[in-house]
């Protein structure tokens, strides 16, 4: 059984790579065929990921999901650098693994239907698969250096997606993205080796809880990790690459970027930052908390003044990721759970929002809010879906967005003290602002008389329904049954934070 699980674990990462290779080798004339092949591989990847993640539940026995990774593979790769090929899946990574596989499948399927201008669709589909492999590897890696290797894998493919298929100002935006994120990842490299050299191992399971590293090492390592992941997440004031990248990226690029790529930052902060350097995390938590709340407020305030649809959604990501980071900063189990579910919710909802924004921009050829008035009159279904996604995003109870934001605030209150209470109040205020700007967005876009741009827009096509409905259902499901994303997280989180209590 373990062998089967190990094969499955490798397959989850290997299937997308194999898919990309097959797509690259197909003749250029079979462009559509190549995109279909990519979708088939993405679907196979999703099946593998689902079986892997649901294994403990399918089997009933054979591994208690609340105890550490239930599937694990560990083989020496480069002993000279201390790199082990060590993958594993536990409650922290499982929901993100499924989300990644799902979003990639939806994006590949979307690419079969529609290729953005700029390059061949087959290359785009291949890049999406490479991205998937890198992101999944990051979530599954249990070796610090391996984590870093996968973290770097996604840099250039994402650059290529933005620079190749993006909007008019794509080159600058893509360059900004890649330089910013490389800056983050070299800091990660420094942090990883600060830890590996001091501890003599890169095994994240062994390192979880501090491994008896000295205070100084933990402080230095956490500072490096925090900045590295703050660039990726992104945390204000290191967020400025994000709005440009999102505005210029093609729809599928935005979906992957917002849906799962940003999660590498927050997941890394929990797994690597808090896990490996817990004392450093406690030491830095006030700074992180203040920055997170600043991100919430700045993101919301900027959103209030945005006039462009995709840019507004991008800035709302800054604000949402602020809630996630606030949860992490509280360094309590509640806060970390809020961060995990916030991650998933943001991935689902913002993925959907970017799909919708892309669809609107493709139909009306404008993203300016002022030109989009009256969408409800001409495309009631599209406007309705946008309304659903916006309301989910602003955190209406019963939908996915609620849990992460509410419990981040609760965790900050639980933490107690003047500072954290103030932060909680400010974050709650930011939550209210989120409602304000999303309602403003809806008022501007869907209500009012139909503007010339929105007259005669085509209805939602069947492929679009296929791509969007899983996200709609997930937003509902996670909202109603948050345990979907949280089962099996309690013990790993307690292990991460418990070392200090």
Whole-number minimum distance, CB 293 to another protein, in Å?
A: 29
- By CB under 8 A, is residue 225 in contact with another protein? no
Stretch that binds another protein, among 56-64, 146-154, 247-255, 379-387 (CB under 8 A): 146-154
CA 300 vs CA 261, 317, 417, 426, 460: distances in Å = 21, 9, 25, 12, 30
Q: Which one of residues 182, 457, 484, 495 is an interface residue with another protein (CB under 8 A)?
A: 182
Nearer to another protein, 96 or 130 (CB): 130
10 Å CB burial of residue 314 (0-12, 13-18, 19+) is buried
Burial of 203 (0-12, 13-18, 19+ CB in 10 A): middle
CA atoms in the 13 A half-sphere facing the CB of 155: 19
Which region, judged by CB under 8 A, interacts with another protein, from 99-107, 169-177, 287-295, 400-408?
Answer: 169-177
3-state SS track over 106-173: HHHHHHHHCCCCCCCHHHHHHHHHHHHHHHHHHHHECEHHHHHHHHHHCHHHHHHHHHHHCCCCHHHH
| Residue 366 Cβ vs another protein, minimum distance, rounded to whole Å | 24
CB atoms within 10 A of CB 425: 14
Which position among 93, 104, 111, 194 is part of the footprint of another protein (CB under 8 A)? 194
Question: Judged by CB, which is closer to another protein: 85, or 113?
Answer: 85
Instruction: Give dist(CA 56, CA 93) in Å, integer.
Output: 14
Smaller CB separation from another protein, 193 or 407: 193
Check residue 272 for interaction with another protein (CB under 8 A): no
Q: In the range 82-121, which residues lie near another protein by CB under 8 A?
A: 82, 119
Counting contacts by CB under 8 A, is residue 317 touching another protein? Answer: no
Phi, psi of 401 (to 5 degrees): -65, -20
Nearer to another protein, 47 or 190 (CB): 190
String of b and e for 129-153 (b: at least 16 CB within 10 Å)? Answer: bbbbbbbbbbbbbbbbbbbbbbbbb
In the complex, minimum distance from the CB of residue 50 to another protein, in angstroms, rounded to a whole number: 27
How many other C-beta atoms are found inside a 10 Å radius of the C-beta of residue 50? 16
Q: Does 162 bind another protein (CB under 8 A)?
A: no
CB of 24 to another protein, least distance (A): 8
Tell me, residue by residue from 39 to 78, as one string, x for binding to another protein by CB under 8 A and - for no binding: --------------------------------------xx
Among residues 237, 239, 134, the alpha carbon closest in space to that of 177 is found at 239
| Nearest CA among 372, 356, 344 for reference residue 465 | 356
- Stretch of 184-192, 270-278, 371-379, 424-432 lying at the interface with another protein (CB under 8 A): 184-192
183 binds another protein per the rule CB under 8 A: yes
CB of 201 to another protein, least distance (A): 13
Residue 77's H or E segment, with its range, is strand 71-78
Choose the stretch contacting another protein; rule: CB under 8 A; options: 58-66, 193-201, 307-315, 377-385: 193-201
Could you say whether residue 153 binds another protein (CB under 8 A)?
yes
- The answer to whether residue 411 forms part of the interface with another protein (CB under 8 A) is no
Cβ distance to another protein smaller for residue 139 or 193: 193
Q: Is 9 in the site for another protein (CB under 8 A)?
A: no
Query: How many Å apart are CA 109 and CA 112, to the nearest integer?
Result: 5
178 is an interface residue for another protein by CB under 8 A? yes
Q: Around Cβ 411, how many Cβ atoms within 10 Å?
A: 25
Find, among 105, 22, 26, the residue nearest to 463 by Cα. 105
CA separation, residue 163 to residues 29, 117, 262 (Å)? 23, 11, 18
Binding of another protein by 190 (CB under 8 A): yes
Asked whether 223 and 280 are in contact (CB, 8 A), the reply is yes
Q: Which of 204, 209, 198 is nearest to 140 (CA)?
A: 204
- Which CB atom, from 224 or from 390, has the smaller least distance to another protein? 224
Among 4, 54, 58, 81, interactor with another protein by CB under 8 A: 81
Per-residue contact string for residues 230-269; x = within reach of another protein by CB under 8 A: ----------------------------------------
- Which residues in this chain contact another protein in the complex, by CB under 8 A? 28, 77-82, 119, 130, 134, 145, 148-149, 152-153, 155-156, 159, 163-164, 171, 174-175, 178-179, 182-183, 186-187, 189-190, 193-194, 196-197
């Amino acid at each position: 059984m373990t062998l089967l699980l190990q094969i499955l674990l490798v397959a989850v990462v290997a299937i997308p790579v194999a898919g990309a290779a097959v797509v690259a080798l197909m003749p250029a004339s079979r462009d559509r065929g190549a995109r279909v092949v990519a979708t088939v591989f993405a679907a196979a990847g999703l099946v593998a990921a689902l079986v892997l993640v649901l294994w403990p539940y399918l089997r009933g026995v054979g591994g208690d999901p609340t105890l550490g990774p239930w599937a694990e593979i560990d083989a020496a790769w480069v002993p000279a650098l201390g790199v082990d090929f060590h993958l594993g899946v536990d409650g922290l990574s499982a929901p993100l693994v499924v989300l990644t596989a799902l979003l990639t499948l939806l994006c590949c399927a979307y690419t079969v239907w529609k290729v953005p201008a700029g390059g061949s669709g087959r290359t785009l589909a291949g890049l999406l698969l490479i991205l998937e492999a890198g992101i999944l590897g990051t979530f599954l890696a249990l070796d610090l250096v391996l984590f870093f290797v996968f973290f770097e894998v996604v840099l250039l493919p994402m650059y290529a997606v933005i620079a190749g298929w993006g909007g008019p100002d794509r080159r600058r935006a893509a360059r900004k993205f890649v330089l910013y994120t490389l800056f983050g990842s070299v800091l990660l490299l420094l942090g990883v080796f600060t830890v590996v050299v001091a501890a003599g191992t890169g095994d994240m399971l062994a390192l979880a809880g501090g491994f008896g590293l000295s205070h100084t090492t933990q402080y230095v390592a956490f500072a490096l990790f925090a900045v590295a992941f703050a660039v990726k997440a992104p945390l204000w004031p290191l967020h400025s690459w994000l709005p440009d990248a999102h505005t210029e990226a093609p729809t599928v690029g935005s979906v992957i970027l917002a849906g799962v790529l940003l999660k590498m930052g927050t997941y890394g902060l929990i797994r690597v930052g808090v896990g490996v350097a817990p004392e450093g995390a406690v030491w830095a938590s006030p700074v992180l908390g203040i920055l997170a709340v600043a991100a919430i407020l700045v993101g919301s305030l900027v959103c209030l003044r945005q006039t462009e649809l995709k840019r507004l959604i991008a800035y709302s990501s800054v604000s949402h990721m602020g809630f996630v980071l606030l949860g992490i900063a509280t360094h309590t189990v509640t806060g970390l759970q809020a961060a995990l579910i916030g991650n998933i919710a943001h991935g689902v909802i913002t993925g959907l929002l970017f799909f919708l924004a892309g669809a609107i921009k493709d139909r009306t050829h404008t993203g300016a809010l002022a030109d989009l008035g009256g969408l409800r009159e001409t495309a009631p279904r599209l406007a309705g879906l946008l309304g659903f996604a916006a309301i989910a995003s602003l955190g209406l109870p019963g939908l996915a967005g609620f849990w992460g934001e509410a419990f981040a605030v609760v965790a900050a209150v639980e933490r107690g003290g003047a500072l954290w209470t103030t932060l909680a109040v400010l974050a709650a205020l930011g939550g209210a602002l989120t409602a304000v700007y999303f309602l403003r967005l809806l008022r501007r876009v869907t209500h009012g008389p139909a503007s010339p741009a929105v007259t005669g827009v085509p209805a939602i096509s069947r492929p679009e329904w296929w791509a969007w409905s899983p996200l709609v259902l997930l937003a509902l499901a996670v909202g109603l049954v948050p345990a979907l994303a949280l089962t099996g997280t309690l013990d790993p989180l307690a292990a991460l934070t418990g070392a200090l209590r």
